[in-house]
Amino acid sequence: MIPVMRPWLGNEEAEAAAEAVASGWIAQGPRVREFEEAFAESIGAPYAVAVSSCTAALHLAMIATGIGPGDEVIVPSLSFIATANAVRYVGAQPVFSDVDLASQNLTPETVEPHLTARTRAVILVDQGGVPADLAAMRALCDPRHITVIEDAACAAGSSYRARPVGSGAELAAFSFHPRKLLTTGEGGMLTTRDGSIAARLRRLREHGMDVSAADRHRSQQPVIEHYIELGFNFRMTDIQAAVGLVQLRKLPQMVARRRAMAVRYQDRLADITGLITARDPEYGTTNYQSFWVLLPQDFPVSRDELLRRLADAGISARRGIMAAHLEPAYASWHHAPLPVTERLTERSIILPLFHDMTDAEQERVVSVLIEAHQRSEPTALIH
Ligand SMILES: Cc1ncc(COP(=O)(O)O)c(C=O)c1O
């Protein structure tokens, strides 16, 4: 079976993890600190704080921004459900906004109709790795004292106005889940330009303690820690960070490879009239974390039938990005009409793309789409 994604892991990561184990220190420690410093440098942000997942990062971003009950936070429904859930974790109200069709991202035009006196933040997602227009969103939000938090879960290695995604955000959250390019198994990172926010994030991820467990352990003298505020256990382990350090070095290669393969998909699928594919916006570059295609309205087979045909051909593809407002967990949630979101989630699919995918494998994927376009089975027309 051709998988939709396979992380690019090798001996180097295995050795780095083994070294962490052999060192005797496997919880959050020196390797996490080293990974944070290297990640911050790669993004061009002064501070990076490692956590256990991007979901945890978004949760802490809500707390660090002071968001709570009575506040509204504008989010795209078209995102992994964690984006909206983070708002609910702090008792605030996620408000779903529609997205732009080409980038699948929020824009000032889609967000503005949802602004109210209660709007405290916008979570701007770089969906599937495609950078959102942060400066445009900040031009809308900054004068209104609305914080823009970047959900860059998918976007390590993407660029925005010639700089790494996340570098211009007050707070940006990254994921290292294996569906992303850079993986640590599970894991996440927050980057910020504000040292006091970084210090608070470090405390919040570790039970609200004023001194980290690693620093206490290193001290020659007894250290009595204090618990300054309600915190969490959102720590990353040193084993994960050891893997992350290797993966970070490989990231530019991963991005280059994915971009080359994406161009190949775009070229090979160009004959399907009306098919829209993930691509770079004019102000940045995507890492193609997800290579999605939006089927034209007159495509002869349904999305689900196409997924079945791909599966029959030994290819594991995925439906497009989910829409949170269509899920039972949000069934009682009031929202404005979201026509672009619904079109994207119902009519798009994500094609396999992974670092060591062969040309022949890519060709197999392409041929299923081309065949479905050229001649459809009579049964498929029922859909
Ligand atoms: C846009 C977005 N936000 C948040 C997350 C959550 O990331 P994690 O699995 O690291 O918690 C994901 C994961 O897919 C995502 O795509």
Could you tell me where the beta strands, DSSP code E, fall in 252-378? 276-277, 284-285, 291-294, 318-319, 348-351
Pocket around ligand 1 at a 6 A CB cut-off: 53-55, 79-80, 82-83, 125, 151, 153-154, 175, 177, 179, 188
In this prediction, residue 15 carries a pLDDT of 98
| CA 234 to centroid of ligand 1, rounded, Å | 15
pTM above 0.75, yes or no: yes
| CA 383 to centroid of ligand 1, rounded, Å | 32
Residue owning the nearest CA to atom 16 of ligand 1: 80
Q: What is the mean pLDDT of residues 181-190?
A: 98
Catalogue the active-site residues.
Answer: 180
**pLDDT tens readout for residues 307-341:** 999 999 999 999 999 999 999 999 999 999 999 99
**pLDDT tens readout for residues 293-313:** 999 999 999 999 999 999 999
- Residue 40 predicted with pLDDT over 60: yes
* Pocket mutation for ligand 1, best pick of 106, 175, 287 (most atoms within 8 Å of C-beta): 175
Nearest atom of ligand 1 to the alpha carbon of 55: 11
**pLDDT tens readout for residues 189-209:** 999 999 999 999 999 999 999
In this prediction, residue 382 carries a pLDDT of 45
- Residue 376 predicted with pLDDT over 90: no
One-letter identity of residue 29: G
Nearest atom of ligand 1 to the alpha carbon of 188: 10
| CA 174 to centroid of ligand 1, rounded, Å | 8
| CA 153 to centroid of ligand 1, rounded, Å | 5
Could you tell me where the beta strands, DSSP code E, fall in the chain? 47-51, 72-76, 93-97, 119-125, 147-151, 159-160, 163-164, 171-175, 188-192, 276-277, 284-285, 291-294, 318-319, 348-351
What is the percentage of the chain residues whose pLDDT exceeds 90?
A: 94
In this prediction, residue 383 carries a pLDDT of 47
**pLDDT tens readout for residues 247-263:** 999 999 999 999 999 99
